[in-house]
Amino acid sequence: MEIYDNHSLKGLNTFGIDARARRLLFLRGSTLDEPSRFMNDVDELFKSDFRKAPYMVIGEGSNIVFTKDYEGSLIKVGEAVFYGDDDGRYKYLTVGASMLTDEVVRLSVDYRYYGMENLSAVPGNIGAAVVQNVGAYGVEIKDLVETVDAIDLLNGDRHAFTCEECLFGYRTSLFKQQPGRWLIWRVKLRFNSDFRPNLSYKALADELQRRGIVRPSQRQMRDVITELRWSKLPRPEEYGSAGSFFKNPVVDEDTCLRIKAACPDMPQAHKAGDGYKLSAGWLIDKAGWKGKTLGRAGVWPKQALVLYNTGSCTGAEVVALAQAIQKDVQQQFGVALEPEAIIV
């Protein structure tokens, strides 16, 4: 295990916020030469005193806002080896938790394992993707999860969770609901052997039609989705952000009808459980926040759901902007916005 004291977090969160962690514990990934190096590092972690102060597992930091220095240990998983198999009906990829989600999509396209292409260009690693059940363009990671291997940080026990046991919901899971409890180190994903493009997301279907693509290949889906995503989000090398900052709110039918009556241009609300899922990006845009800044935090001019760092912004400034938006959307529409990003 590698131990770093008083470590800068600037390169460890995609917002680029300049806070520090009292300690960073890095569990090195297995290599072909040393297949059990990761588990040796896990043993070392449990021999250390990491539970005496606050601790948290961190992925690529693409969904987190540090509002102050972290007075405890951040645990980073290095496990990244992968292998594929096939039971005749489905194909499977088993990947270490630190592998980037987009890298897993790239592998699936290279191998012609089907079903994950709609998650192209999603930031972060696959472990974090499972924690928050990431989703984009009509697919969520839960649609692919076969099993999740995790270590119980309370006692070191190892568990293999089935997809059902992960209790996935919209941008949530058992792992998100029990913060600090589980260290995900390996994920097995199930893929289709036949290609059936998922065109359920309207903006994607419209874009393919605009390009005159009637029967897209898996690679075309990946390319179009990658372009579509980046056309709306800040380039990470230019501006820090955490992707969608808020979840799309689920409201009751009366609220949905009331807003639709007041604003006939409201995008189609989709049924979600007992209620209707509204577009947080549209609500923020309609509330007049698109392109605005507060301090050094801003609302991305091409997608109001994305808050970004205009340059050396602090986590407190991001939170102040988020709260101002929440207040306005509550006042104007009577809708509570909940952050998707984790605020520490």
Torsion, CA 254, CA 324, CA 314, CA 249, rounded to 10: 0
Stretch that binds ligand EPU, among 64-72, 161-169, 182-190, 274-282 (CB under 6 A): 274-282
Residue 98: active-site member: no
We find the least distance from the C-beta atom of residue 234 to ligand EPU, in angstroms, to be 11
In the region spanning residues 208 to 267, those forming contacts with ligand EPU, defined by CB under 6 A, are 232, 243-244, 247-248, 267
Rounded to 10 deg, the angle between the 218-232 and 202-210 helix axes is: 110
Which residues is 172 bridged to in the sheet? Answer: 169
Q: Which stretch binds ligand EPU (CB under 6 A): 5-13, 67-75, 103-111, 302-310?
A: 302-310
Is there binding between residue 342 and ligand EPU (CB under 6 A)?
no
The tokens of 272 are what? 């979600």
- From residue 318 to residue 337, what is the string marking binding to ligand EPU with x (rule CB under 6 A)? --------------------
Q: Which residue in 23, 28, 171, 222 is the catalytic one?
A: 171
CB of 297 to ligand EPU, least distance (A): 16
Closest approach, Cβ 31 to ligand EPU, in A, equals 32
Give the 3-state secondary structure of residue 91.
Answer: strand
Q: Under a CB-based contact definition with an 8 Å cutoff, are residues 145 and 133 in contact?
A: no
Residue among 60, 79, 317, 340 flagged as catalytic: 340
Other Cβ atoms less than 10 A from the Cβ of 35: the count is: 10
Interface residue with ligand EPU among 14, 279, 309, 314 (CB under 6 A) is: 279
Binding mask 177-216 for ligand EPU (x = CB under 6 A): ------------------------x-x-------------
Assess whether 117 carries a catalytic annotation: no
Q: In whole angstroms, what is the distance from residue 64 CA to residue 184 CA? A: 17
**DSSP per residue, 297-330:** EEE-TT-TTEEEESSS--HHHHHHHHHHHHHHHH
Active-site residue identified among 98, 120, 244, 279? 244
DSSP annotation of 34 = -
CA atoms 125, 131, 132, 133: torsion sign = positive
Whether 171 is a known active-site residue: answer: yes
Q: Tell me which DSSP letter residue 119 carries.
A: G
Measured from the CB atom, the residue of 73 and 241 that comes closer to ligand EPU is 241
The structure tokens 């952000």 sit at: 241
Q: What are the residues binding ligand EPU (CB under 6 A)?
A: 136-137, 201, 203, 232, 243-244, 247-248, 267, 279, 281-282, 285, 290, 303-305, 340
User: Which residues are known catalytic residues?
Assistant: 171, 244, 340
